[in-house]
Chains A and B, each alone.
Chain A
Amino acid sequence: MSDELRLPALEVHQSKGRKLYSFAVDGKLLQDFVTVSRVRRGDGNELSGYQRPEALAHIQEIRAYLEAPSPLIPNSIILAFDSRVRFEPAKGKTSLPYVRTGTLVIPLEKNIADPDKPGFVVDGQQRLAAIRDANIHRLPVCVTAFITNDVRQQTEQFILVNSTKPLPKGLIYELLPGTDAHLPSPLHRRKLPALLMERLNLDEDSPLSGRIRTTTNPTGTIKDNSVLKMIENSLSDGVLFHFLRPERAHGADVASMGEVLHHFWAAVARVFHAAWGLPPKKSRLLHGAGIISLGHVMDAISRVRNVPLIPTEAQYVEKLMPLQELTHWTGGSWNFGNGERRKWNNLQNTPGDIELLSKYLCTPYQKQASRSL
């Protein structure tokens, strides 16, 4: 038994012989007439289809977003129909020569096999899978479609929509603090660090004010990634962990975290004032290895028990003083013990060097912690 779906649509004449159709349809209905053309090799080794498999983790993320209150999917799903789908223009004249309203008529067939469906997904298969799986009643989506019986045209469009360059990471981090949405897990994890970094960079009274290089602050000299890493380490294993508050906005006592970071880095600026004013080329202090290792020092100092939960700047200064004679940020050479010597600038932003420097800088606090037992 066959039936048909009639949808109000716009027909857009885009270029010679190329027409696009724009319409809205409940995403849950789409599976009745569209399918995904999976890439594979046939018996004669010829390639057919063009889509990769669904990315289940990605679908789970979208699905969780769709099940949250009032989701929004602004970008269109792109479909390719074969010529069984037709457009019936509405009666009357339109004022624009390139667009007319009408009805898109899609044949529906019960129990039709996937390859026989009239539509193929060119872009949006993960979103469609998420809508299909989501525990929601319906979700109308915008669709842009073209009609062709030529699979090459579909493949062409598939390549074009999927080969755009992703956003630079740094820009994403800078945009993150301003979002409220349910974000995919990897981005969600970066949101709090990004927010704290933003504070450090924008607050006027911050010791790092304006010094972190981001898309909108290209003159900053400290790498955003180093600051993020320093903050993430502390959130996992250091002093900032103690200010996580799952019930609050951002899941944290952001004000207290900001205070800790401000106090510590202000203390660093005072204790190492000569090296602090110099660009990373002339000082290892604000270089990746320095920032991340000092973050570990912040955590080590904050662990020493006779210090209250949010140490003051003065307390950090006092605890940092012993490092003055051990550090060689701008000249001379580091003596890491066991015959391991390094010229001041021969410390790189690598895991090995960060570990070497961190352990070295944390040594005084280790002994202090043992003694305080």
Chain B
Amino acid sequence: MKFFLPDSQDLVDPSFDFENEQRAKDRRRQRHDLYAHEVFSQPAFDGFLVSKGMVDGFGALGSRYTLSQRLRLSQIGAPEFFRVNRAPHPLQIMGDCGAFTYVKEQKPPYSVDDVMDFYATCRFDYGVSLDHVILDFLPEADAPGAGPRAVPAAIRRRQELTLEYASEFLHKHTRGRHAFKPLGVAQGWSPQSYATSVKRLQQMGYDYIALGGMVPLKTQDILRCLQAIQAQRAHGTRLHLLGVTRTEHIEEFYRLGVASFDSTSPLRQAFKDAHDNYYHNGLTYTAIRIPQVEGNTSLQQRIASGQISQNQARKLETACLQAMRLFDSGRRSISKVIEVLLEYEDLYAPDAKRNHAKDYERTLRDAPWRRCACDICKHLKHHVIIFRGAERNRRRGFHNIWSFYRHMRDSGTDTHEFTVGQQVAGLKERACRTN
């Protein structure tokens, strides 16, 4: 199976100095920063998923790209923009329209031509047809005798629209003799409706089909859909799961024809999840929170209002960082570290329902970063487990991607061998150094 990483301009700054928390003054965003594939000497994913909605920005969701970056992307193409030649194994780039960015609209804000044009100018390897997400899941509509009124017309309309776009997309793809491989999108509200979509897409001529709108579904519902699709799936038709990672069911997905999927969750969990921030051998650990005094809004407000002393906050923050440093060199006990961490937590989150004592205890006792073989953990040491600022948090996210990918490879869904590249080792060390 192939794992695509959705792009949202996630990079780390190799000039970041972890001790003084400063960057090189002449660092330029993106140009001097590193993508995950530039950090690891072993593969951590198979490709990028680049969304039109992410690049252009839509409505209130502004773009993560500056205008200059967007123009450069369209002029030099995605492979050069993402510097995929620096990856330890060949990376492919898939384009989609980012249907979740306009899910509330009546109709997608783009035409098939707009999307086609985006894929061609960016020189993607794969292009997903234009679609409109269905958020509702109504499996009861599959019951015998449920009748057409079980599904509102607006929902049916989205599926129909998506299929019409897929048909137009394939025609234009052939006529324009485009180099990228086209994927049709199946949208549905139930196992049967997904299966119908897949059937019709196959009739149009698609043999690679993306399943959209499954992000909010429960794993069991996804499996039910895949099983229904299985009855319609032609030999040789491959499936792509848009936005879905359910690590524990990877093998089952694989058996049901899923050839690829994309997900940001290994990255996002590193700094969004309440507990599961660090992946290791199929387990997850809670990262150690040491927020910056200047950067924690509620703490800043309480300091500015005079409720708590800035000096006190800074002292505790420094003490926590110091305790982690000493712990990692074996000169501070777990209980002593937790004591100071909790003292700081009392200050920055006095209303927390439960403190992190138990989670921290487990994280520190197992100290999983010491056993991780990835380039980040090898060089960054305990900084990778500290929940603090984008440079640490994103590196932990990169580690999660690596760890997740390795776990997936080990689960027996591997279809091909990869060679491990060493040509960019110098770069990796720069990205991870701690001094």
Residues of A within 8 A of B (CB): 38-41, 49, 52-57, 60, 64, 185, 188-189, 233-238, 241, 244, 246, 251, 296, 299-300, 303, 351, 354-355, 358-359, 362, 365-366, 369-370
Q: Which of B30, B67, B68, B293 is most buried by chain A, counting CB atoms within 10 A of its CB?
A: B68
Residues of B contacting A64 in the complex (Cβ-Cβ under 8 angstroms): 22
Q: Tell me, yes or no, whether B217 is within 8 Å of chain A by CB.
A: no
Chain B nearest CB from A178 CB (Å) reads 18
- Asked if A246 contacts B75 (CB within 8 A), the reply is no
CA distance A354 to B71 in the complex (A): 12
CA distance A241 to B71 in the complex (A): 15
Please pick, from B22, B29, B71, B293, the residue contacting A362 in the complex, using a CB distance under 8 A: B71
Residues of B contacting A246 in the complex (Cβ-Cβ under 8 angstroms): 26
Please pick, from B22, B68, B304, B305, the residue contacting A233 in the complex, using a CB distance under 8 A: B68
Instruction: Name which residue of chain A comes closest to B120, CB basis.
Output: A370
Instruction: Name which residue of chain B comes closest to A293, CB basis.
Output: B67
- Asked if A359 contacts B306 (CB within 8 A), the reply is no
- Asked if A303 contacts B75 (CB within 8 A), the reply is yes
CA distance A369 to B304 in the complex (A): 54
- Asked if B28 contacts A241 (CB within 8 A), the reply is yes
7 interchain pairs, CB-CB under 8 A: A41-B305, A53-B310, A64-B22, A185-B25, A233-B68, A237-B71, A351-B67
Residues of A contacting B305 in the complex (Cβ-Cβ under 8 angstroms): 40-41
Q: Which of A237, A238, A299, A354 is most buried by chain B, counting CB atoms within 10 A of its CB?
A: A237
A52-B25 contact in complex given A299-B71, A355-B67, A358-B71, C-beta closer than 8 Å:
no
A54-B310 contact in complex given A188-B25, A235-B28, A303-B75, C-beta closer than 8 Å:
yes
Residues of B contacting A233 in the complex (Cβ-Cβ under 8 angstroms): 66-68
- Asked if A358 contacts B31 (CB within 8 A), the reply is no
Residues of B contacting A238 in the complex (Cβ-Cβ under 8 angstroms): 68, 72
- Asked if A251 contacts B26 (CB within 8 A), the reply is yes
Residues of A contacting B22 in the complex (Cβ-Cβ under 8 angstroms): 60, 64
Q: Tell me, yes or no, whether B425 is within 8 Å of chain A by CB.
A: no
Classify chain B: how many residues form its interface, as a range: 20 to 34
Bitwise interface map of B from 62 to 76 toward A, beta carbon under 8 Å scored 1, else 0 = 000011110110111
CA distance A27 to B209 in the complex (A): 69
CA distance A39 to B302 in the complex (A): 11
CA distance A260 to B40 in the complex (A): 37
Please pick, from B30, B121, B303, the residue contacting A53 in the complex, using a CB distance under 8 A: B303
CA distance A166 to B143 in the complex (A): 71
- Asked if B306 contacts A40 (CB within 8 A), the reply is yes
Task: Give chain B interface residues in 43-88, CB to chain A under 8 Å.
Answer: 66-69, 71-72, 74-76
A370-B121 contact in complex given A52-B304, A241-B28, A303-B76, C-beta closer than 8 Å:
yes
- Asked if B68 contacts A56 (CB within 8 A), the reply is no
CA distance A64 to B25 in the complex (A): 11
Instruction: Name which residue of chain B comes closest to A41, CB basis.
Output: B306
Residues of A contacting B9 in the complex (Cβ-Cβ under 8 angstroms): none
- Asked if A237 contacts B72 (CB within 8 A), the reply is yes
Q: Which of B74, B121, B307, B309 is most buried by chain A, counting CB atoms within 10 A of its CB?
A: B74
Please pick, from B66, B75, B294, the residue contacting A236 in the complex, using a CB distance under 8 A: B66
CA distance A56 to B303 in the complex (A): 13
Residues of B contacting A244 in the complex (Cβ-Cβ under 8 angstroms): 26, 28
Residues of B contacting A359 in the complex (Cβ-Cβ under 8 angstroms): 71
Q: Which of B26, B31, B75 is most buried by chain A, counting CB atoms within 10 A of its CB?
A: B75
Chain A nearest CB from B81 CB (Å) reads 10
Residues of B contacting A296 in the complex (Cβ-Cβ under 8 angstroms): 67-68, 71
- Given A296-B71, A300-B71: 17 more A-B contacts, CB < 8 Å: A38-B306, A40-B306, A41-B305, A41-B306, A54-B310, A64-B22, A189-B25, A234-B68, A237-B31, A237-B68, A244-B26, A299-B68, A354-B67, A358-B71, A366-B74, A369-B75, A370-B121
